[in-house]
């Protein structure tokens, strides 16, 4: 992992040619969460291909650039477009941007994704506050020699999704009149959606929502000593006894219905978790 520090020494100076601020929060914008990006007052934009050691997203629904600017008065950097394991990237490539966020000074990771509901009480278009995860991707970004400068060999996943931030999000949603459900996010590698039998299994083991991302980035954030807040946009129901076919188009369209709600919630929550409101 000494390798990672060497890479950062090459990536950070390139970013500094575009932006010299210090982001308080690093944001990963998942599928169809465009409105959050629009509420950032962008000061600098860097396409991933300009950045040494960055992978380049292959999913069309994920644009590939870093945004730097202010969100509700808070300096932030945002990944517009994230990397998935199913694209063939290694766990280290997927999580490298989180290392970059930390290197630039960000102490908080705000992450979002689109997910299918395992919890029958959820509805498409709901926002789920992630309380915890079960990583079933089958790989881990921390495998290999540990670099103690970056974080501990055995990071503790206690409070991985910071309770204090979850309380703030819950209270804010209440004030805004936004329905906010809560639950455990379970990512698998994908890229296929899961079978009915797999959905039944994921529910039995304690999952509320299923997806293909987020856990790697959160593991690295925790390893780096960052605090985390995560949301899933519920795009479809994954109930084994009443399963309906889904398409990517449908998933994206449903994610888009939550766009404004998500932007409003995130816009209010960001200054509170940054400690300026």
Considering only residues 173 to 232 of the shown chain, the ones binding ligand HPA according to CB under 6 A are: 190, 193-194, 210-212
The single-letter DSSP state of residue 68 is E
Cα–Cα dist 149/77, whole Å: 23
Q: Which is nearer to ligand HPA, 7 or 232 (CB)?
A: 232
Pick between residue 68 and residue 85 the one whose CB is nearest to ligand HPA.
Answer: 85
Q: Are 15 and 100 in contact (CB under 8 A)?
A: yes
32 binds ligand HPA (CB under 6 A): no
CB of 31 or CB of 95, closer to ligand HPA? 31
Beta carbons within 8 Å of 201's beta carbon, 6+ residues apart: none
Report the site for ligand HPA in 106-165 (rule: CB under 6 A): 114-116
Q: What is the nearest approach in angstroms of ligand HPA to the Cβ of residue 3?
A: 30
Asked if 235 touches ligand HPA (CB under 6 A), the answer is yes
Q: Which residue is nearest to ligand HPA (CB)?
A: 116
Task: Give Cβ neighbours of residue 111 (< 8 Å, ≥ 6 apart).
Answer: 27, 28, 30, 130, 214, 217, 218, 221, 228, 229, 230, 231
Q: Which of 236, 239, 259, 274 binds ligand HPA (CB under 6 A)?
A: 236
For ligand HPA, give the closer residue by CB, 135 or 146.
Answer: 135
- Kindly state the tokens that stand for 164: 């204090």
CA–CA separation, 21 and 104 (whole Å): 8
- Kindly tell me which residue out of 77, 181, 238, 258 binds ligand HPA, with binding defined by CB under 6 A: 238
Long-range contacts of 144-147 (CB under 8 A, 24+ apart): 144/1, 144/92, 145/1, 145/2, 146/1, 147/1, 147/2, 147/4, 147/5
Give 208 or 268: the residue with its C-beta nearer to ligand HPA: 208
Residues that bind ligand HPA (CB under 6 A): 114-116, 190, 193-194, 210-212, 235-236, 238, 251
């Amino acid at each position: 992992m000494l390798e990672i520090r060497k890479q950062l020494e090459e990536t950070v100076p390139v970013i500094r040619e575009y932006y010299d601020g210090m982001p308080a929060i690093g944001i990963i914008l998942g599928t169809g969460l465009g409105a959050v990006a629009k509420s950032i007052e962008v000061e600098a934009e860097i396409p991933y291909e300009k950045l040494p050691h960055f992978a380049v997203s292959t999913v069309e629904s994920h644009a590939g650039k870093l945004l730097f600017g202010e969100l509700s008065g808070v300096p932030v950097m945002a990944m517009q477009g994230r990397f998935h394991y199913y694209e063939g990237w290694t766990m280290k490539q997927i999580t490298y941007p989180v290392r970059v966020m930390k290197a630039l000074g960000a102490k908080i990771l705000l992450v979002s994704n689109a997910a299918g509901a395992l919890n029958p009480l959820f509805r498409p278009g709901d926002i789920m506050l992630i309380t915890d995860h079960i990583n079933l991707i089958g790989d881990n970004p921390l495998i290999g020699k540990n670099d103690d400068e970056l974080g501990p060999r055995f990071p503790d996943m206690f409070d991985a999704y910071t309770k204090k931030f979850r309380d703030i999000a819950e209270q804010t949603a209440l004030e805004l009149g936004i329905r906010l459900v809560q639950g455990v996010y379970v990512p698998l590698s994908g890229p296929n959606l899961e079978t009915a039998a797999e959905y039944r299994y994921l529910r039995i083991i304690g999952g509320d929502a299923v997806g293909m991302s987020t856990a790697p980035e959160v593991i690295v954030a925790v390893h780096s000593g960052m605090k985390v807040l995560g949301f899933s946009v519920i795009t479809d129901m994954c109930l084994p006894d009443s399963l309906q076919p889904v398409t990517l188009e449908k998933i994206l369209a449903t994610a888009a219905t939550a766009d404004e709600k998500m932007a409003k919630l995130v816009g209010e929550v960001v200054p509170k978790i940054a400690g300026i409101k």
